[in-house]
Structure 1
Amino acid sequence: MIPSYFFAHGAPSLVLEEHAYTDLMKQFGANTPKPKAIVLFSAHWEQPVQTIGAATQYSTIYDFGGFQDELYQMTYPAKSDKALSERIQSLFAKHGIESVLDEERGLDHGAWAVLKLLYPDADIPVIALSVNRYLTPEQQYEIGKALGELREQDILIIGSGGTVHNLRRLNWRSNGDMDDWAEAFDNWLQSKLENWDMEALFRYMELAPHANDAVPTSEHFIPLLLAMGTGDVNRQAKLLHRSYQYGNLSLSCWQFN
């Protein structure tokens, strides 16, 4: 059974950057067995009903503005796998989760920027999945749990978002220092994840320090709970990397076994 992962995708420009976090991502494909397919939840695809990507050929969505021209020239021409999309829909139905297929939408930067660093050749089938910020943390976990058995078939499941993601609090002139409040939130989160303390994690907005600053809206935090849910059988979480940009934008990678 292969692990599943949570990757923070930072700013869209992450795919052009060179530092310890992007080094980890670039080495990921070389250091792990190549999966048969990738299932990815992106914070930038929000839908009221769980939606499953099923485009024959994904287009590349540039859902951002004001960044380097080079970003708008990048593509990630991944293909999906209709049979796997339908299988995922069946798994959701088995667990009482309503879902629909989408054969039109491409990959947003929460998906393609991460995948371009992990698997730049775009030669692995990708199934993009939406998120819904209006579900409870328990429901998010259950959505991930419903897909856990895919890991037994060498299918890689990724949640793409960010644990501390508050664009209004970014310090664009930061010289590399991290804000204490962001670190305090992530330290609390690390403790609860490593101990698989679901009771506390499901109440993170009321229990975690500085939660309102770290998670002003939940769409970027949700992919962490989704990825965690896929690891419900063994319940082992491991932090592979954590750093910050602009004072508090977290770049973290979690592995769930």
Structure 2
Amino acid sequence: MMPSLFIAHGAPSLALEENVYTEFLQKLGQELPKPKAIVLFSAHWESATQLVSSVPDAYDTIYDFGGFQPELYQIKYPAKGHTETTAEVVKLLTDAGISVQTDEVRGLDHGAWVVLRLLYPEADIPVVALSVNRYLTGEQQYQVGQALASLREQDILVIGSGGTVHNLRRLNWESQGVDSWAMEFDSWIQDKLERWDTEALFAYDKLAPSAQAAVPTPEHFVPLLLAMGAGDEKKQASLLFRAYQLGNLSLSCWRFE
């Protein structure tokens, strides 16, 4: 059975970097069983109603950022959609009582294509992109992921793309180390994930140390709960990688069984 994954997408410039994290993601893509399709929640696609892409052909590449290296804006990731998987996602969500709509025009934002390009550089695996809703409770986020858990039995890889510590105002451009508050937050999250303590995780904003600094707005944290929900069957969480850039930007990858 396919796992579900939470993958931090970092800054858009990750697409041009060669470091231990990009090497890890490239290797991960080679080690995973090749999926029939990928279902990906991106922190950079927000909506009040759950949206599911239904792009019939190749996606456009969205450059939803500014001020980065010119060559970033030349990158294309022409993955194709997969209408069969879109239909299955819509059915599963609808059966779970979750309101859903399809979108036939939106391309892949950098929360999606930066990660996918490192995992599967040939863009040869169909993709179904999903939006996130920052206003749902933690339990509701988990339930959205849980509704899609059976996709893993169909060789479909579920990915939540975001970041656990993601506060652009707190980035330290001169730092060569890691801010202690970021590590404390991530350590608390690690403990709760490994013990599958959903009650604590659903209230992370009130219980976790430095939660407001680590997660000033929740859209990048939400994909963690979505991916976790999709791994609800065995309730096993494994930290595959963690590092930091710019003092506190967390680059982590979690696997859920």
Matched to 2:217, the amino acid is T
2:49 corresponds in structure 1 to 49
Alpha-carbon separation, structure 1, partners of 2:229 and 2:11: 25
Matched to 1:202, the amino acid is F
* 1:199 has 2:199 as partner: yes
Alpha-carbon separation, structure 2, partners of 1:114 and 1:153: 22
1:213 corresponds in structure 2 to 213
Report the CA distance between 1:33 and its aligned residue. 1.0
Alpha-carbon separation, structure 2, partners of 1:212 and 1:28: 31
- TM-score, structure 1 as length reference: 0.99
Alpha-carbon separation, structure 1, partners of 2:245 and 2:32: 27
Alpha-carbon separation, structure 2, partners of 1:30 and 1:186: 27
Report the CA distance between 1:87 and its aligned residue. 1.2
Report the CA distance between 1:82 and its aligned residue. 1.0
Where does 1:1-257 land on structure 2 (aligned, <5 Å)? 1-56=1-56, 57-175=58-176, 177-257=177-257
Q: CA RMSD in A?
A: 0.6
User: Cα deviations across residues 174-215 of structure 1 (Å, max 9, x unaligned)?
Assistant: 12x000000000000000000000010001000000000000
Aligned with 1:58: secondary structure?
coil
Alpha-carbon separation, structure 1, partners of 2:55 and 2:156: 18
Alpha-carbon separation, structure 2, partners of 1:120 and 1:68: 20
Alpha-carbon separation, structure 2, partners of 1:53 and 1:88: 10
Aligned with 1:85: secondary structure?
helix
Report the CA distance between 1:15 and its aligned residue. 1.1
User: Cα deviations across residues 10-51 of structure 1 (Å, max 9, x unaligned)?
Assistant: 000011111111111011121111100000000000011000
Alpha-carbon separation, structure 1, partners of 2:120 and 2:167: 28
The percentage of counterpart residues that share the same residue type is 65
Alpha-carbon separation, structure 1, partners of 2:39 and 2:162: 14
Matched to 1:60, the amino acid is T
User: Where in structure 1 do 4 or more consecutive aligned residues deviate above 2 Å?
Assistant: none
Alpha-carbon separation, structure 1, partners of 2:28 and 2:128: 19
Aligned with 1:151: secondary structure?
helix
Q: Is there any run of 5+ residues in structure 1 with no aligned partner, and where? A: none
Alpha-carbon separation, structure 1, partners of 2:236 and 2:165: 22
Aligned with 1:183: secondary structure?
helix
Report the CA distance between 1:94 and its aligned residue. 0.6
Matched to 2:253, the amino acid is C
Alpha-carbon separation, structure 1, partners of 2:200 and 2:114: 31
- TM-score, structure 2 as length reference: 0.99
Alpha-carbon separation, structure 1, partners of 2:45 and 2:70: 23
Alpha-carbon separation, structure 2, partners of 1:83 and 1:29: 23
Report the CA distance between 1:86 and its aligned residue. 1.2
Aligned with 2:182: secondary structure?
helix
Alpha-carbon separation, structure 2, partners of 1:65 and 1:173: 21
Greater CA drift, 142-151 or 17-26: 17-26
